[in-house]
């Protein structure tokens, strides 16, 4: 149950990072690097979630 909660929380962080990137893109008019940092965070969290799910499946930690 803890793993599932962590995955859901990280997915919410990914969505929050996506919308913060959109906000910074609109606010900064494309200048600055806040958009790049927000989207880099989103990609990093997505890769981390994907790796955690793969490892959990491989070692049998993810059960329905």
| Structural domain boundaries in the chain | 2-58
Quick one: pLDDT at residue 64?
A: 56
Say what the pTM is: 0.79
| pLDDT at 9 (0 to 100) | 94
Q: Phi/psi class of residue 54: alpha, beta or left (left: φ > 0; alpha: ψ in -120 to 50)? A: alpha
pLDDT at 20 over 70: yes
Confidence of residue 63 (pLDDT cuts 50, 70, 90): low
- Of 31 and 16, which is predicted with more confidence? 16
């Amino acid at each position: 149950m803890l793993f599932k909660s962590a995955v859901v929380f990280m997915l919410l962080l990914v969505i929050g990072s996506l919308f913060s990137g959109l906000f910074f893109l609109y606010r900064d008019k494309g200048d600055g690097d806040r958009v790049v940092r927000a989207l880099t965070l989103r990609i990093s969290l997505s890769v981390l979630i994907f790796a955690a799910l793969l490892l959990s499946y491989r070692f049998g930690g993810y059960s329905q």
